[in-house]
Chain A
Amino acid sequence: MWDYSDKVKEHFFNPKNAGAVVDANATGEVGSISCGDALRLTLKVDDDSEVILEAGFQTFGCGSAIASSSVLTEIIKGMTLDEALKVTNQDIADQLEGLPPEKMHCSVMGREALQAAIANYRGEEWKDDHEEGALICKCFAIDAVMIEEMVWANKLRTVEDVTNFTKAGGGCAACHEDIEAILEKVLAEKGEKFDPGAAPVKKPAETIAAVKGPLTNLQRIKKIEEVLESLRPSLMADGGDVELVEVIGNTAYVNMTGACNGCQMAAMTIAGIQQRLMEVMGEFIKVVPASEMAKLVNIEVA
């Protein structure tokens, strides 16, 4: 069975705002009956203030789908539509004290139902912007469709490429056979043959010139900033960010912010940043969360 948090169980066993809102003036219906998760969200919106007065859900789905729906209605009640549009699936997952990676799509479904309902209220047409595929990488919750799109868009050729561009396969590595199967399929469609030994595709970040020779501390700090800057877009795509706090010798202290803060994957992300820094700097760099700085510095001083 899934390792659901107490919060998920609480919302599943005692769902809030179950059922359709009477006199609703906004309805969003999303999900996929073939996948076994579908949600209808109904809202009563005050026409003058655009405040969501009432929210109700009807869900065909598993425990986490019902819990995500329930917590979503609790989050958005009392918000204006513009405020509600800023609610992310991460907010839903956070309110539930986390979801297993295979179940993150339940929180995505909640956010989409909300967008669909608001579009419905405003008389706009809501279009789903993604197609969901089978979950391939369980460490980073990356699905097959995402990997296929990236392989097509960036002419990826090896598992290493896929990991560099999507993070898929960068954790436990158990999905490498599945990633190879996707590469074989897409490359065959392009009339190419999968070659595990192909040269890696360069990421945009690779354009930063590798450092030659020893660095002064200032040069090192500038270079580290440059590398972090190049990694920022992919962190922000996940709703997170990184901030450089201090550099002492070969140790860079960083703050993980946004969705990265408290994310179970933060340690892995930090390891990835460290790897990238070492590649560019050509020397050993240790990346440490700034929260550990105080005690380390004190030890040094003492």
Chain B
Amino acid sequence: MTDIYLDNNATTKVDPAVVDVMIPYFLEQYGNPSSIHKFADGVARGLKQARQQVQALIGAEHDSEIIFTSCGTESNSTAILSAIKAQPDKKEIITTTVEHPAILTLCEYLEKEGYTIHRLPVDKAGRLKLDAYQRLLSDQVAIVSVMWANNETGTIFPVAEMAEMANAAGVMFHTDAVQAVGKIPMMVQDTKIDMLSLSGHKLHAPKGIGVLYLRRGTRYRPLLRGGHQERGRRAGTENSASIVGLGKACELAQNFIEYENTQVKAMRDRLEQGITEQIGHCFVTGDLYNRLPNTTDIAFEYIEGESILMLLNKAGIAASSGSACTSGSLEPSHVMRAMDIPYTAAHGTIRFSFSRYNTMAEVEKVIEVMPGIVATLRKLSPYWSGDGPVANPEQAFAPTYA
């Protein structure tokens, strides 16, 4: 069997149909979209179509609400910096403890600049408490930024409801929907969401292309100035091939959205069931009843994630981990810590994320090899003895220095 790719929340394979529509924009229609000659005369049409394809997937009211950017991170930075530049008197930002670093690192930076950052905590299942959120909303808040779905656990946040609450308080609302777009149906025109970020490479378009949805009428200040592109809201020559590719990818995602929520979900559920039935001392993290259909994050207690990944990789299976070691940091994933998952489990979390390219046969292969991998590593673990964890693991092994 060829290698199995279950790391689709990290990035995805570009759909061959997407590559096909892109090629002419490299080799024939390579003119600058702003130029007046035949090398460029089809480009504007291509961009317009792509804008409409993105608009359709997220359910925006107007295609002019779609601004093409270079990636999800640029969209996120643009949204937050625009909100604070447009409202210089408002010095507070509300976000969550489990956002992507694209939001959290920017907020830490703004904190140093004098902004007050409110980070909403989550419970053990990764859920937010909306009454705490309600109390923080005030005329001092420049923007609320809450992810639509969490990249590690797939947990979905009630962004539509939270946007209503922000809107009622006169506060702008942004959502990082990078993981959610194309996996769950959405209709932003029916919500009070002001800004939304999405990223091409999470939905089978290439890397290096993203979108900021900007609701018509939302006060806005560009991040990049210097040209009329994107109606002056994002200067810089258009990445025409990738924009056209993203448009096609959005069209495909819309066609597959039911498949995603039935067939892809079935594979995810089978994997979860197969693993948790066979292996003791492991559990699924996040909100099991309100998750993306393609994501499962399983904590294997008393062993470490990078070791699991290396053995999976040897078996031809690609996944990812929330352990400290995979990132070179000293702490396990901030998402696991926010959910209060104990260290002995947080370091052993493995995320399997599916796409429409996966098959049930691949799922069975993972279910077949996983018990052996876990047993091998537990044999080496100081917290494990024979068939189970040692009694009182935290006391039985308490190494020097914290």
- Write the residues of chain A forming the contact surface with B, with a CB cutoff of 8 angstroms: 1, 9, 12-13, 15, 18-19, 29-40, 57-66, 102-103, 112, 116, 126, 128, 131-135
Which of A18, A30, A36, A66 contacts B400, CB < 8 Å?
Answer: A30
CB distance from B324 to the nearest CB of A (A): 4
Cβ contact within 8 Å between B381 and A62: no
B330 touches A132 (CB 8 A): yes
In the complex, what residue of chain A is closest to B313 when comparing beta carbons? A1
Cα distance A35–B307 in the bound complex, in angstroms: 14
B332 interface residue (CB < 8 Å to A): yes
- Contact across chains for B381 and A60 when beta carbons are under 8 A apart: yes
| Structural contact, B323 and A128, CB atoms closer than 8 A | no
Residue of B nearest to A18 (CB): B380
Q: Which residues of chain A are within 8 angstroms of B399 by Cβ–Cβ distance?
A: 29-33, 38-40
Judged by a CB distance under 8 angstroms, whether B310 is at the interface is yes
Give, as a whole number of angstroms, the nearest-CB distance from B210 to chain A. 24
Residues of B within 8 A of A (CB): 302-307, 309-311, 313-314, 323-326, 328-332, 343-344, 347, 379-383, 397-402
- Is there contact, CB below 8 Å, between B323 and A126? no
Report Cα–Cα, A89/B326, bound state, in Å: 21
A9 surroundings in chain B (CB, below 8 A): 310
B-chain residues with CB within 8 Å of residue A40 when the two chains form the complex = 382, 397, 399
Q: How far is the CA of A104 from the CA of B329 in the complex (A)?
A: 13
Q: Is the CB of A32 within 8 A of B401?
A: yes
Is A35 touching B382 in the complex (CB atoms < 8 A)?
A: no
Given the known A-B contacts A30-B399, A35-B331, A39-B399, are A63 and B382 also in contact in the complex, defined by CB atoms under 8 Å? no
A280 vs B39: C-alpha distance when bound (angstroms): 61
Checking B305, B314, B332, B402 against A13 with a beta-carbon cut-off of 8 angstroms, the contacting residue is B314
Say what secondary structure dominates the interface of chain A. mixed
Distance in angstroms between the alpha carbons of A34 and B310 in the assembled complex: 21
Q: Does the CB pair A32–B379 fall under 8 Å?
A: no
Partner of A32, one of B313, B383, B402: B402
A62 to B401, CA, bound (A): 18
CA distance A128 to B399 in the complex (A): 11
Q: Tell me the bound Cα distance from A211 to B402 in angstroms.
A: 49
Once bound together, how far apart are the Cα atoms of A39 and B326, in whole Å?
Answer: 18
Q: A29-B399, A36-B323 are in contact. List 13 more A-B contacts (CB 8 A).
A: A12-B307, A29-B382, A33-B399, A36-B347, A59-B381, A59-B382, A60-B347, A60-B383, A62-B305, A62-B307, A63-B310, A112-B400, A131-B401
The minimal Cβ–Cβ distance linking A108 to chain B, given in whole angstroms, is: 11
Q: List, in ascending order, chain B residues with CB within 8 A of A116's CB.
A: 400
The answer to whether A29 and B332 have CB atoms under 8 Å apart is no
Judging by beta carbons under 8 Å apart, are A33 and B325 in contact?
no
Chain A residues near B382 (CB, 8 Å)?
Answer: 29, 38-40, 58-60
User: A128 touching B400 by the CB < 8 A rule?
Assistant: yes
Question: Which residues of A are found within 8 Å of B397, using beta-carbon distances?
Answer: 29, 38, 40
**For B381, what are the chain A residues with a Cβ–Cβ distance below 8 Å?**
58-60
Docked pose: A62 CA to B330 CA in angstroms: 12
A39–B382 Cα distance when bound, in Å, is 7
A34, B303: Cβ atoms closer than 8 Å: no
Q: Report the nearest A residue to B326, measured CB to CB.
A: A62
Distance (whole angstroms) from the CB of B29 to the closest CB of chain A: 38
